[in-house]
Amino acid sequence: MTQDTDTTGGTRFLEVEGGRIAYDDSGGDGPLIVTIPGMGDLRSEYRHLSPRLRQAGFRVVTMDVRGFGETSATWNDYSARAVGGDALALVKHLGAGKAVILGNSFAAGSALWAARDAPDRVRGVVLLGPIVRDGPISPTTMLAFQVGFAGPWRTEFWAAYWDALFPTRKPDDHDAYRAQLVANLGEPGRMDALLAMLGLSKAETATIVSQSHVPALVVMGSLDPDFDDPAAEANWLAGQIGAESLIIEGAGHYPHAEMPEQVAPKLHTFVRALSG
């Protein structure tokens, strides 16, 4: 059972089993787009892309992932599938028909799970810097993460890692947004949620990739530090799901934040084609 509440600040909350999901809604009667940020991030990750989508006539709904932002911090399940289920609950609650779901990083897997579990609610998916399978981790990287998360400096360690995911052009408000991320991770339970997510294997998500049959768009930054060969990963995933792919030259793990002016036009075309 779900229940929707509103706050004076514009944030809305949807009560679902185990907690509540925070989201905002641009309103309107245009095609529905639901955006999901990556782990450890906030729904305002889409702050530079969403205005472009709204101006194009889309209804944009942006949610905070389990554990972060204004969504409940503590859950018994932080998996990509569980987050996809939250997105589906939101789509159903809005009653605006099928949605195109955007997912960044691990949440690209959430978009795929949502499409698999309820294709009647998902018109298509857009996978931004998608991490949908486990990759090799070097001993050096493993050691760095073990040390980085071992002490009271863990929040700043994560923020420094996050900084490195913007290799070419940080948004003008990057420092202010970084401060929001650090403050959010300092709230009770949120670092625990991040550590829980980091410990999850993506093997289950990898098993459903080839089962995806909804229209899809893969967007990858050519310099995404999370991949040894970002273009090869994008091509592999696009081939698996029969998707279009878009490589943003010079962008990192957040092409929609780093170079939204290049991502938005392709999204317009993709979503409009699905909406007839």
List pLDDT tens digits, range 130-151: 999 998 776 777 788 888 888 8
pLDDT digits (tens, 9 = 90+) for 14-53: 999 999 999 999 998 899 999 999 999 999 999 999 999 9
Query: Is residue 85 within 8 Å of 114, Cβ to Cβ?
Result: yes
Q: Is 134:127 a contact under the CB 8 Å cutoff? A: no
Q: Are 68 and 184 in contact (CB under 8 A)?
A: yes
Strand boundaries in 18-145, DSSP class E: 19-25, 32-36, 59-63, 99-104, 122-128
State pLDDT tens for residues 199-243.
999 999 999 998 888 999 999 999 999 999 999 999 999 999 999
Residue 87 burial (CB < 10 Å; 0-12/13-18/19+)? buried
Give the count of beta carbons closer than 10 Å to the beta carbon of residue 38: 26
User: How much is the average pLDDT of 83-95?
Assistant: 97
Residue matched to tokens 């195109």: 100
What's the pLDDT score for residue 29?
87
pLDDT of residue 154: 93
d(CA 241, CA 211): 7
State how far the Cα of 79 lies from the Cα of 76, in Å rounded to an integer: 9
Picking from 7-11, 107-111, 173-177, which range would have the lowest pLDDT averaged per residue? 7-11
Q: Which residues, 6+ apart, have CB-to-CB distance to 50 below 8 Å? A: 26, 35, 60, 62
**DSSP letters for 196-248:** HHHT---HHHHHHGGG--S-EEEEEETT-TT-SSHHHHHHHHHHHHT-EEEEE
pTM across the whole model = 0.93
CB atoms within 10 A of CB 172: 9
Task: Write down the pLDDT at residue 2.
Answer: 41
User: DSSP string of 22-52?
Assistant: EEEE--SSSPEEEEEPPTT--GGGGTTTHHH
Q: Where are the domains of the chain?
A: 3-275
Lowest-pLDDT range, 6-10, 36-40, 263-267? 6-10
Supply the Cα-derived Rg of the chain in whole angstroms.
17
- Residue 1 is predicted with a pLDDT of 35
Q: Which CATH number fits domain 3-275: 3.40.50.800, 3.20.20.70, 3.40.50.1820, 3.10.20.30?
A: 3.40.50.1820
